[in-house]
Structure 1
Amino acid sequence: MDYCIKFRLVMYLCVFAVISVFPFSSCAEESETSVEHEAGVYYSIQKGDTLWDLSHRFLDSPWQWPDMWSENSQIANPHRIYPGNRIRLFQRKDVARWVDTDLDKEVVEKKDPLYYFYPSIDKIGFIKKEPVTHRGTIIEVKDDKKIISKGDLVYIRPNEDTSFIPGNKFTVYRTLKPLRERRTNSYIGIQHYLTGIVEITKIEPKFAVARVVQSFRSIEVNDLLMPYVKRSPKIILTESKKELKGKIIVSEEHASIIGDNTVAFIDKGNKDGVKPGQMYTIFYQEKKRLDPKTKGDVYLTPVYFGTLIVLHTEETTSAVFLTSAEKSIYPGADIHLTEP
C-alpha cells in the first residue's frame, strides 16, 4: 500500500480511506445501534450530484457507482439522491487515493467539507500536564450497588467552589497515575479517563443527587466530575502538519499491544500545530552499517504500517484513533506525515 500517496493533504482532496468499524467497550452500558452513521469519511450531496459523477470524482471511475450505492444502504433508488443527504465514501482496493481532477476548487469551497464521523467522541479522554479542577466527587450510589450504570442515582459531594443546579450535566472521570516518557523518564502528564455522564436531579445542603445518563465504562465511587461539554462527532478533515514527528505514548486502555480501531495518545498537541482531523502514518526506520569497515550507520527507508486520525488535542498531547494497522503497534511507535 502506498502510504505516501494515501496521505496527501486534504485541501487537495487526496483523502484516504479511514472507514472502519468502531470499537465498543464491553463494559459500557450504552448501545451504539441508534447512531445514524458508523465511523468513516462522509460527503454531503450537493445539487446536481449523481452517483455516477461522485464515483468518477472520488473513485476515478464512473462505473464504480454500484459499489458506492452498495456501501450506502439508506439510498433506496440510486437515480434519486438529494442535496443535504450524506453518503459514506469507501476506497477501491486497486486505487491508492480518492481523486478529483477537475473540481478541486469547487469541492474545497463547499459548505460541508469531508469529515470523519466518530460516534462516541464524548468518551474520548485526554492527557494534561496538570489535572483539571474537579467540581465534585461521587461518594455513594443508591441501594449500594456494586456496579454503577445508566439510570442509577449517585450522591455527589460538591467541590467547595461549586454550586450545582438541577439539570446540569457533568462528565464523570478519574485520573490515572502520571505518565512519563519511556526512554528519558521525562514527565508527560496525567491521563483523564472518562467513565460517563451524570445529570443533577436534586440539591441537598451538603450533597447533590444525580442520575447516570451515560456509562462509557465502569463508574466507581470516588470518580470525579467536570462540566459536560458536548462535542461534535463530525471531525472535519484538515491539512496535516508537514514537519511533525512524534510518538505514540500509550493506548487509552493501556494495552501492551495496540491494534487498529483503538484510541491512543501521541506526544504532540496544540503547541506543535496538531489539530483534530489531521491524519498521520505510523512507521519504523532501521539503522544499518553499510560498510563494516566504517563506524557510521545510515537510516534505511521508513516502513509504513499504520494510519491514524487526530480526534482531540490538548497543549502538548492529542487523542488519536488508529484507523489501520498492518502489524502490532507498541507504545513509543513513531508517527509523521508522509509526502510523495
Structure 2
Amino acid sequence: MIKTLRRLAAACAMLVVAAGVSAVTLRDNHPDVYYVKKDDTLWDISGRFLEHPWQWPEIWHVNPAIKNPHLIFPGDAIRLSWVDGEPRLELDRASGEQSRLPDGTVKLSPRVREMSREDAIPAIPMNAIQSYLKQALVLERADIAAAPYVLGGQDRRVIFGGGDTVHARDPEQRWANAEQRYGLYRVGEEYVDPVTDEVLGYEARQVGLASVERIEEDMATLQVLRSSEDLRVDDRLFPQPDQRVRALLYPHAPDEKVEGRIIRFFDRISSVARNDVVVINRGAREGMEEGHVLDIFQQGEQVRDRQQDEMVRLPRTRAGSLVLFRVFEKVSYGLIMESQRPVYMNDVVESPEGSY
C-alpha cells in the first residue's frame, strides 16, 4: 500500500514522500477530543489516539483556516473525526470567547491570541535531551588530534574552574577563524560496533565554557565562564554547537528497513527505560535522520530442548521504542519513548514493522 507521509519541516512546510505503511490502528479507549495542556508532547497526545504514536502524520488533517496548523499550543483541541470511513485528527483552535445571553443566544467575542513558536508543544520531552543537544559531540581521532588543547593556567595549577584563566594552544591551525567562545571538552568513551568491531567515533562531553581574551601566535588566553567539573590540561576546545533546540523534530519511520544495536547508556549501569538516552551504532551514512523511530527488541535466551537434545534460541521480544534526536556520521543518540521492560546493552533496534 502506498502512503503519503507528511512531515513537519523547520519552516513549518509540509514535505510529502511515498513509502509503505501498515494500517493505522486506533486505541480501544481513544478520546473523541483532547485539549492540549502545558507539558504535553506530540508523542503523548498521539499515544492517546493511536496504537503507534509515530503514525500521527498518516491521519493528520491540516486546517487551512488556522495560521501555522502544524504547531500545537496549550488550549488547542485535537478532534477525531471520520471521512469516508477513515479516521482523521484535526486541530481546533478557539478564536473567540463564548457567552450565552438571557434569551439563549450564544454571543462570540473575538479575541487576539498571541503565540510564539517557542510556546508550541514539542514532539518529545525536550528537557530529557537538552544537554545532549548542546553539550555532546562524537569525534573522529583526526578531529581530536587537530583540536586546540588546554596547555596550562594560572598559579601553576593543573586543574581549573569557573573564573580561572587558562592558556590553550593550536599548533595546527594557529587559531585561524577563531571563535569568541569555545566549549571545553573531555574525550572519553570509544564507540565500537559490536558486530564488526569498527571504531565508530569517540564521545566528547562538554565540561566547561570559555571566552577568548587574546591570541598570540598559536597561544590563546581564555577566561573560564563556567565549568561542570574540574577542567584539566589536555582538555580539547571546540566551537559551541548550534544551541537552537529543534522543537519541530517530528517522529517518523525510516523509508527503508534499518537494523542496529544499542551500544551506550548514560548515567545507568545495567539497563535503561523510558526517557533515558542511548547511543546506537547507526548514523547518517546508514541513512539515519533526526526524528526516525525505531523499535527495540531483545534476543530470546538460549534453552536446551531436552526432547531433541539441542540448544534452541527462544523468539525475540519487543521491549519498547525510541526516537533519534541527534545523528552523527556513524552513530546516533536516541530517546527511549516507550519501554515495556528494561532495555539492555546490545539490544536490537529496527524499523517499525510494516513501515518499509
Paired residues for 1:270-289 under 5 Å = 270-286=284-300
Compared with structure 1, are the counterparts of its residues 320 and 149 closer, same or farther at alpha carbon in structure 2 (3 Å cutoff)?
farther
How many percent of aligned residue pairs carry the same amino acid? 16
Specify which of 104, 122, 136 is matched with residue 61 of structure 2: 104
Structure possessing the higher relative contact order (Cα contacts under 8 Å, 6 or more residues apart): 1
For residue 222 of structure 2, give the secondary structure of its aligned residue in structure 1.
Answer: strand
The corresponding residue for 2:130 is 119
- Taking structure 2 as the reference length, the TM-score comes to 0.60
Paired residues for 1:1-340 under 5 Å = 11=5, 60-62=31-33, 64-65=34-35, 68-69=36-37, 71=38, 88-89=41-42, 90-91=44-45, 95=49, 96=51, 103-104=60-61, 115-116=123-124, 117=126, 118-120=129-131, 121-126=133-138, 128=140, 130-142=142-154, 148-163=160-175, 168-176=180-188, 178-182=190-194, 185-205=197-217, 207-234=219-246, 236-241=249-254, 242-252=256-266, 255-286=269-300, 292-293=307-308, 297=312, 300=315, 302-339=316-353
> Offset at 1:88?
4.5
> Offset at 1:333?
1.4
Structure whose alpha-carbon radius of gyration is higher: 2
Compared with structure 1, are the counterparts of its residues 183 and 256 closer, same or farther at alpha carbon in structure 2 (3 Å cutoff)?
farther
AA at the equivalent of 1:159: P
1:18-52 CA distance string (max 9 Å, x none) = xxxxxxxxxxxxxxxxxxxxxxxxxx9xxxxxxxx
Contact 2:158 2:233 in 1 (8 A): no
- Taking structure 1 as the reference length, the TM-score comes to 0.62
Q: In structure 1, how many angstroms separate the alpha carbons of the residues matched to 2:226 and 2:296?
A: 33
For residue 271 of structure 1, give the secondary structure of its aligned residue in structure 2.
Answer: helix
For residue 122 of structure 1, give the secondary structure of its aligned residue in structure 2.
Answer: helix
Q: In structure 1, how many angstroms separate the alpha carbons of the residues matched to 2:269 and 2:4?
A: 31
In structure 1, the gaps of 5 or more residues are 1-8, 16-43, 45-58, 73-86
Compared with structure 1, are the counterparts of its residues 330 and 88 closer, same or farther at alpha carbon in structure 2 (3 Å cutoff)?
closer
> Offset at 1:201?
1.7
Q: In structure 2, how many angstroms separate the alpha carbons of the residues matched to 1:10 and 1:173?
A: 43
Work out the number of aligned pairs and report it.
Answer: 269
